[in-house]
Amino acid sequence: MKLIIRDAKIIDSQSPFHNKTVDILIVDGLIEKIGTSLPNSEAVEELKFDNLHVSQGWFDSSVSLGEPGFEDRETISNGLSTAAKSGFTAIALQPNSYPIIDNQSQVNFVLNKASGFATQLYPIGALTKESAGKDMAELYDMKKAGAIAFGDYNKSLDNANLLKIALQYVQDFDGLTIAFSQDENIKGNGVANEGIVSTRLGLKGNPNLAEELQIARNLFLLEYTGGKLHIPTVSTKKSVQLIKDAKSNGLNISCSVAVHHLVLTDEKLEGFDTRFKVSPPLRTDSDRKALLKGIKDGTIDMITSDHNPIDIEHKKMEFDGAKNGTIGLESAFGALMTVLPLELVIDKLTSGKARFGIEIQTINEGSKANITLFNPKSKSIFTKANILSKSKNSAFLGTEIQGKVHGILNQGQLILA
C-alpha cells in the first residue's frame, strides 16, 4: 500500500514534526517521508480532509466486548471495527466474557479472533480464577500467551492477602496488576453516588468512602510488596489525592479515569435513565473537577472509554436491577474535547501504551505507520446514527460533542469512519 496524507497537522510531542502541518508518505505500512508538498509522480493514492490532524494511534486501557459468551452484546470483529472507526489502534480487552479469560487457552482464543484487524487487541487476564476472588489464576501462563496485565473487571478483591501474593508473584516476570478499588461492604446495595441526588431520588447510595478505603488499602499493600499496580476508573477527589501522595512517595502506581466521569455528574440520574448507571457511579461536580485537575497535573495517567456493551434486556429495566455500564468508544474523543485541550486529550489517549508494555510508534520517518486521523474542531450532537456497537447503551446520546474521527492507519490498513 502506498498513500500520501496531505496537509496534516501532527500532534505528537515525541515527534520532531510536532505541531507542524506536513504531507506524510506511507509505503507498505511504514512512514517513508514527511515534508511539505511531497511530489506524487507515481499517482499514489492521496488522503485529504479539512483541518486534518494526526497523532500516534490511540490506546484504550479498558474495553469489554462480550465474545466469547455474550456475542449478543458485542463480537470481537465488530468491536475492533468500532474501535478503529473511533480512532483507536489498540485496545486492552477486559476478561469479563463467558468463560472468563483466566487461562492460556482463553487468551489464545481472543488473540486468534482478533488476528488481521487494523486495531490490535491486547488481552487482560483475570487475576483470579473465574474472577471469583478466591484463587489466583494462571498468571504466568497467560503472560506467555500474550496477556498484558491481570485484573478482575469491576470486581474488588476482598482478600488482601491474595492481592499481596499476586503483587509479589508477578514481579518475577514484570507483570502489571490491576486493582479495581471498591469496598463491597461499604458499597452495600448502593446504585448511585451517595449524596444529595441519591437522597432526593430515593436511590441507595454508594459513598466515595467505598472507593477511597479500598485504594488506601491497596496502596499500603503495594508499599509492602513493591512491584507495580494500576488502579482503573478512579472517580473521587480523595482518590486522586491518595494516588498523588503515593506517587510522591515513590510507589510504582498508575491510574485511569473514564470519559464519563470527566464529563457527566450524578445530576444525570434525575430521569432514572439506566444509561447513566455505571461502576463506579457518576459522582458530584466537585469530584469531576478534581478528576480534571488530576489529568492536568499528571496524577491521572490515562483516560479510558471503559466501553462496556450491555444488551437491552439488562439495561432497559428499573434502575436498581439494571446492569452497570456504558459504551464509550464512539463518543470518547468528542466528549473529551468538550472539557480538555487537544494536546492533553491526545497525551492521555496514548500514554497508557508505555504502562501496559505496548510498543510506541512516534510519527517520524522510518517508523511504523500507527496513526489516528481526526478534526478537533467539528461540532455535532451524538446520536444513535453515530453508534457502531451492537449494543446502544451510550451515556452520551443527545450530548453535544466536539471533533470528528476520520479513522486510523495501522497494520498496513487504512480504516475510515
Catalytic residue numbers, as ranges:
306
C-alpha cell recorded at residue 339:
472539557
DSSP assignment of 221-243 = HHHHH-S-EEE----SHHHHHHH
Query: Would you say 121 and 91 are in contact if contact means Cβ atoms under 8 Å apart?
Result: yes
Query: Would you say 269 and 201 are in contact if contact means Cβ atoms under 8 Å apart?
Result: yes
Residue 306: CA count within 13 A, CB half-sphere: 27
Helical packing angle, 237-248 and 208-225, nearest 10° = 10
| Rounded Cα gap, residues 329 and 199, in angstroms | 32
The helix/strand/coil state of 123 is strand
Residue 173: CA count within 13 A, CB half-sphere: 18
| Rounded Cα gap, residues 75 and 1, in angstroms | 28
Query: Would you say 210 and 195 are in contact if contact means Cβ atoms under 8 Å apart?
Result: no
Q: Which of 311, 300, 223, 229 is nearest to 274 (CA)?
A: 311
* DSSP bridge pairs for 191: none
Q: Return the CA Rg of the chain.
A: 21
Residue 52, Cβ density class (10 Å: 0-12 exposed, 13-18 middle, ≥19 buried): middle
Query: Would you say 374 and 87 are in contact if contact means Cβ atoms under 8 Å apart?
Result: yes
Residue 282: CA count within 13 A, CB half-sphere: 24
